[in-house]
Amino acid sequence: MVSLPGVIYIATFDWQKLKKWDKPVLTLFSDKDPFLADQGYDKLFQTNFSGARGQPHITVTDAAHFLQEDQFTELSTRTIHWLDQTNYK
């Protein structure tokens, strides 16, 4: 088992690697997530990744933690539209 300082180190190290990601980033959080809704994690991701700037981030309504199960049609539609806009290959 990894100690708490070890977990924090790993998380910090991984976060620093993610901050170097410069490809487009889209965040889709849900409004009823019992763990993440209204905690600011969406803004944290949006401000820490350069590829997130100017992207059409949204909070998906009527969805809980597993928003892909609760709002799969909206999630897939928005993701496909976003991929088309970014010319993702």
* pLDDT tens for each residue of 29-50: 999 988 888 888 888 888 888 8
Would the pTM of this model clear 0.85, i.e. be above it?
A: no
Between the CA of residue 41 and those of 3, 32, 86, what are the distances in Å?
Answer: 24, 14, 23
Mean pLDDT taken over the chain:
84
Residues 48-72: pLDDT tens digits? 888 888 999 999 999 999 989 999 9
Domain ranges of the chain: 23-85
Q: What is the largest CA-CA distance in the chain?
A: 43
Reduced to 3 states, what is the DSSP secondary structure of residue 66?
coil
